[in-house]
Chains A and B, each alone.
Chain A
Amino acid sequence: MKALSQRRRHPLAAFALLLMALLVTGGIYAAASTANEAQAQTTTFTADDVEEGSKLFSANCASCHGMGATGSDAAPSLVGVGAASVDFQVGTGRMPMQMDGPQAQAKPVQFTDEQIRQMAAYVASLGAGPAIPSEEILDASAGDASKGGELFRVNCAMCHNAAAAGGALTGGKFAPSIDGTSEQHIYEAMVTGPQNMPVFSDANIAPEDKQDIIAFLKTIEEQGSPGGAELGSLGPVSEGLFIWVAGLGVVIAFTVWLTSRSS
């Protein structure tokens, strides 16, 4: 201790201290960011998959994303986006993009499951990123729907609506309805953050919590609407429109009928 305190005014002491601080913060950051990374429940890809995927990529994606998926002015680099990203974007028909716009729209899927798997293999081979989630974590029946509901309301409902019916964002962008979306695509959307969606990493929402959210979404999807037709689950706007058009319309029809033989 004495030796240390004696040398504290040494010309190099400040540098030593700085170096130590950098090492500590860097170390913590490295540890934290690996914790942040979506843990790969890896599906294994063969070299053939990567090879075939590379061909498909060159033929269908490279015109925008560039040869080697390094990106261009038209589209971002895909190095490090992971297999989950490809599976979501191509598997929901968002990619290849039909036209430029505020955001990629879902449309009929353009590739077979096999081709999507091969392209995912190719993109995954370019750099580490979120992998396609495993079957166990996608099992909605194993999740806790009420806990998932709480997480959904705090993290998702502000864009996707409390009943997952979707909502508007700025400048023509929007959060789509999640009704009918598969467990796998819901999970992948959370870990990759497609379009304007933020990434919900495993440090932010743990895989088990994601499973709970999926359980909640599947529960409300399957149970239907307890109170009758749900009018799009859009809240008071569709209710107001309904009472003005249908409710008041029917009442007016009756008033006309009641007074049709007037004096």
Chain B
Amino acid sequence: MSSSTATQTYVPKTRVGKVTDYVDSRVGGSGIVKEFGRKIFPDHWTFMFGEVALYTFVILLISGTFLTFFYDPSMAETHYEGSYLPLRGVEMSVAYASSLDISFDIRGGLFMRQIHHWAALLFAASVAVHMLRVFFTGAFRRPREFNWVVGCVLLILSLAAGFTGYSLPDDLLSGNGLRIIDGVMKAIPVVGTYLSFFLFGGEFPGTMIIGRLYVLHILLIPAVILLLIGIHLFMVVLHKHTQFAGPGRTNTNVVGYPVGPVYAAKAGGFFFIVFGVLAAIAAAFTINPIWNYGPYDPSPVSAGTQPDWYIGWVDGALRLMPGTIGSNFDFEFMIPFPWGVNALSLNVLIPALVPATIVFALMFAWPWIEAWVTKDRREHHLLNRPRNAPTRTAIGVAGIVFYCVLWAAASSDLIATHFLVSLNDVTYWLRFLVIFGPILAFMATRRIALALQRKDREIALHGRETGRIVRLPHGEFIEVHEPVDDYKRYTLVSFDSPEVTVPKADADGKIGLLDKVHGRVSRFFFEDRVAPVTPKELSASHGDHHDEIAGAKDRESIASH
């Protein structure tokens, strides 16, 4: 109320002032600027991946709009008459012909196609890295659980946006991708064939699918992404941004710069940096050379047929799945139903659906899984350093290894040709690694995290090893340790380190099953633990080390005389 009285009494003098005041008194812009412009954001390079995702999305909207002016999502047959000679006169769909026209006969079209596709790859990559940052720093904990879920949905939508766009040129490469989708759908028992016929409007490939994917790609998916980005950012403003612990940075404040003018300028500049990087890449590097692949035709599949990187892991899972085990056991079962026999093709269903289901289910549920394990219901605005949550970090790395092995499997043929090894051996190794890789990665990561914690503890208590060896008068050698400054030490000692919760017996002296399970999981998570340095330990260590160094300096000065 007080601000509105202020605007009423304020009388602008200049012309610009009058115009501004006219607008402001009607839309209340100054109130928004006052509130939002003073919003504080902390600074750390890992906090900027979400921004990269947002900016690449904006670039996608701009370049995508240009492409819609010239692209025709029709599957009608035509003969190419454009300027690319090796395809002249070839029979193809109108969609493919218009994609070729964008590439060769529309001014700036190829550049726009390339910036759109490169931006899509960077969009999905920055979303993934952003989520990894949030996971490994524990930024999903209360109160941000729902924002984490919104982020998970955005990740899935970015994959959907990418895949539907990848299919639009109707070239041989993307058609093969659609054929795999068709095959996976048809492997779903009972309803699979119906689903496939519903999506493709009849038998694959039909004449409908490109138009349908186009509507999804330019209307539905971007609209939902935009909506969720709105919700996502609203919640960021509501919850405030998290920060790493440091002197003066507590769970109840945010230390950083305000949006206006610092971040408005920085973020605006960063948008143009991302745009510039993508434009440079699009100008200098080919992406998806559809003219090489030729028009879609269900019969040929070229060597080196892979999906874009973000779908690669599912393709890899399909490549790793054995068709049969030995010569007797295959994964196909004929199940008699009252209406006839249905096939259950587990050799397709397992790789296509199981890894993705596991990864996405764990991802969505993780904030609640961890809250159940820690029984921690507090709000967290301070981030964890990954080493200070060893088990979570180890689980995250195990997940990354699982993903990356499947991802590598999607390029098994190129691994074979480029490293001069047998394709069969690559497949066998990756099959081994997809099972044992995550386990090994879990163990190694947890050990490394604990070792780093121990090192931090050493440094906090005894300072940095300077490498300076000093001999004392009585013959003893010591290495001089240089104590870290207080700011640095603060970041080394200020973290939570949960301990194992032992299940408690109830009034009857019994321990419930869930409590027992919880006790087990808690032990798994927190049994191996490096305790943070206590103030008592710190003051105790300070005493003798100052003496040691002072003493060493004395002796040095004696020696130099």
Contacts and interface: CB of A to CB of B under 8 A. Distances in A.
Given A239-B287, A254-B273, A161 B86 contact: no
Nearest to B306: A236
B417 A174 contact: yes
Interface stretch (A14-22, A114-122, A190-198, A242-250): A242-250
A235 B85 contact: no
Interface of A: 102, 145-150, 153-154, 157-163, 165-172, 174-175, 216, 219-220, 223, 225-231, 233-240, 242-244, 246-248, 250-252, 254-256, 258-259, 262-263
B386 interface: no
Question: Which 6 pairs across A and B sit closest by C-beta, in order of nearness?
Answer: A167-B303, A240-B309, A262-B43, A227-B286, A168-B413, A172-B422
Contacts of A262: 42-44, 256
Given A167-B303, A240-B309, 11 more contacts: A145-B86, A149-B86, A149-B87, A157-B303, A161-B304, A166-B303, A223-B86, A233-B289, A236-B173, A236-B307, A251-B273
A15 B352 CA distance: 59
B286 A259 contact: no
B393 interface: no
A151 to B, nearest CB: 11
B301 interface: yes
Given A226-B104, A227-B287, A244-B309, A239 B121 contact: yes
Contact of A227 (B43, B289, B412, B423): B289
B88 to A, nearest CB: 5
A259 B303 contact: no
B129 A163 contact: no
A240 B423 contact: no
Nearest to A225: B286
27 contacts: A145-B85, A149-B86, A149-B294, A157-B300, A158-B301, A161-B303, A162-B294, A163-B289, A172-B416, A172-B422, A219-B86, A225-B286, A225-B289, A226-B286, A227-B103, A229-B285, A230-B286, A233-B289, A236-B288, A236-B309, A237-B411, A239-B121, A247-B278, A255-B45, A256-B45, A262-B256, A263-B256
Interface residues on B, range: 35 or more
B43 A158 contact: no
Contacts of A251: 52, 122, 126, 273-274, 277
Interface string B64-105: 000000000000000000001111111000000000000110
Contacts of A147: 89
B14 interface: no
A162 B304 contact: yes
B114 to A, nearest CB: 6
A235 B122 contact: no
A147 B86 CA distance: 8
A34 B257 CA distance: 84
A238 B43 CA distance: 33
Given A150-B90, A162-B292, A226-B110, A231 B302 contact: no
A236 B286 contact: no
Interface in B261-301: 266, 269-270, 273-274, 277-278, 281, 283-289, 291-294, 297, 299-301
Contact of A237 (B48, B266, B304): B304
A49 to B, nearest CB: 37
Contacts of A150: 90, 294
B306 A158 contact: no
B304 A167 contact: yes
B274, B285, B287: residue with the most chain A Cβ atoms closer than 10 Å: B285
B197 to A, nearest CB: 27
Interface in B506-551: none
Contacts of A229: 284-286
B125 A248 contact: yes
B490 to A, nearest CB: 15
B52 to A, nearest CB: 6
Contacts of A145: 85-86
A263 B257 contact: yes
A161 B270 contact: no
Nearest to B284: A228
B93 to A, nearest CB: 15
A154 B295 CA distance: 11
Contact of B48 (A158, A162, A242, A258): A258
Given A170-B424, A227-B287, A243-B125, A235 B300 contact: no
A157 B126 CA distance: 33
